[in-house]
Structure 1
Amino acid sequence: MKKIKSTFAVIALTVFTSIAAFAQLQTPSLSPASSVSQVVGFTKINIDYSSPGVKGRKIFGEIEKYGVTWRAGANAQTIIEFSTPVSVGGQNLRAGKYSIFITPTESGDWTVHLNKKAESVFAYMVDGKIDEAAVAKDDAVSLKGKTERGGSTERLTYTISAGDNKTAMISMAWENIKVTFPVDTQVDQKLEQFKSQF
């Protein structure tokens, strides 16, 4: 009888432990975290984002409406960080973190926003939607991105091209759209500043 009780206790403990372990197991994220970084000139550029899939849906024009500002990723905000000052769209930006927002349009004239509130995407939410006027008010810079249609990208992906090692081309590709904008890492200006110190 003792042996039966002992066996039963071992089985019960094994089942309980298995259930507890299974409860702690998390399913994979539908929009897994991703990041890309590249040194261009003297500047390290890093982008942290979540990467949703198309999964047979119509993304732009339906899931992400035309004319409505979007957080350019999923889950939390998409963050771009510059290790040194840079210039975007002819405007100087300090080193630091910025949120990326994008406003898609049917005509293909998409606006890229680099926003000063890098940690506060949900501060812009009103009734489940992004308050576009509030985003624009806090933009460090906004510019028209170069938009290309064609191809197919299942998972939202950011890339950084070093190009001539002075200007970086930042691209966001998803579904059949690619939006690109340049970042001037101001290599020549930084060299001149360095020389002027001697």
Structure 2
Amino acid sequence: MKNYKSFLLAAALVLTSTFAAFAQLQQPAMSPAAHVSQVVGFTKISIDYSSPAVKGRKVFGELVKFGETWRAGANSQTIIEFSTGVNVGGKNLPAGKYSIFVTPAASGEWTIHLNKKAESVYAYMKDGKIDEAALAADDVVAVKASPASIGATERLQYMISAENNKVAKVTLAWETTAVSFMVDTQVDQKMEQFKAQF
């Protein structure tokens, strides 16, 4: 009888710990966190974002409406970080973090916004939409970019490439569309500044 009670107690403990483990197990995120980084010249460029899936939907024009600014990812803002100063769209930006927003267009060029409120999640949401005027007030640069057709891409992804190791091409790709902007890491200027110190 004593052994039977010990067995029941041990079985109860095993079941309790199993249920506790299952309770802690969470479903995989619908839009999992993603990260990409690349050193270009002297600059490390990093992007942190959430990666939603197409899941049979029409993305650009329906899920992401033309003419409305979008946070360029899911869940929270998409963050790009530069380890040194760079130039984007003809404007010098100091090292630091910036949020990326995109305004897609039905035809013609899209607008890519780099914004200084990198740590402020949903900073511009108003009545379920992004407040365009508030966003524009905090843009450090807004660049025009032509979208390109690509093969089917189920999950949103960012890519960073730099063939000459001086100017990076940052690309957002999702569904059958890609849009890119260039980041000049100012290698030559930094070399000149370094030489001037000696």
- Alignment TM class, shorter chain as reference: over 0.9
CA distance in 2, matches of 1:146, 1:34: 24
Partner of 1:57: 57
CA distance in 1, matches of 2:5, 2:132: 66
Partner deviation per Cα, 1:119-164 (whole Å, 9 max, x = no partner): 1131211122221211111001001123102311111010001121
11-20 or 174-183: which moved more?
11-20
Q: Which runs of 4+ in 1 moved over 3 A?
A: none
1:39 is matched by which residue type in structure 2? V
Partner of 1:175: 175
Checking the alignment, whether the CA contact within 8 Å between 1:168 and 1:184 is kept in structure 2 is: yes
Find the residue that maps to 1:31 and give its secondary structure.
Answer: coil
2:152 is matched by which residue type in structure 1? S
Partner of 2:8: 8
1:116-195 matched pairs, under 5 angstroms: 116-195=116-195
Checking the alignment, whether the CA contact within 8 Å between 1:50 and 1:74 is kept in structure 2 is: yes
Instruction: Tell me the CA shift for residue 85 of structure 1.
Output: 0.6
Checking the alignment, whether the CA contact within 8 Å between 1:33 and 1:50 is kept in structure 2 is: yes
Partner of 2:25: 25
Aligned length: 198
Question: Which residues of structure 1 form unaligned runs of 5+?
Answer: none
Find the residue that maps to 2:192 and give its secondary structure.
Answer: helix
1:44-83 matched pairs, under 5 angstroms: 44-83=44-83
CA distance in 2, matches of 1:146, 1:47: 21
2:154 is matched by which residue type in structure 1? E
Partner deviation per Cα, 1:53-104 (whole Å, 9 max, x = no partner): 1111111111111111111011111110011111000011000000000011
CA distance in 2, matches of 1:125, 1:186: 34
Question: Which residues of structure 2 form unaligned runs of 5+?
Answer: none
Instruction: Name the TM-score, length of structure 2 as normaliser.
Output: 0.96
CA distance in 1, matches of 2:121, 2:69: 12
1:54 is matched by which residue type in structure 2? V
Checking the alignment, whether the CA contact within 8 Å between 1:41 and 1:166 is kept in structure 2 is: yes
Instruction: Tell me the CA shift for residue 3 of structure 1.
Output: 3.0
Find the residue that maps to 1:123 and give its secondary structure.
Answer: coil
CA distance in 2, matches of 1:117, 1:35: 19
2:38 is matched by which residue type in structure 1? Q
RMSD: 1.2
Find the residue that maps to 2:180 and give its secondary structure.
Answer: strand
Find the residue that maps to 1:133 and give its secondary structure.
Answer: helix
Partner deviation per Cα, 1:148-198 (whole Å, 9 max, x = no partner): 023111110100011211110000000011000001111111111112222
Instruction: Name the TM-score, length of structure 1 as normaliser.
Output: 0.96
CA distance in 1, matches of 2:16, 2:130: 45
Checking the alignment, whether the CA contact within 8 Å between 1:146 and 1:181 is kept in structure 2 is: no
1:193 is matched by which residue type in structure 2? Q
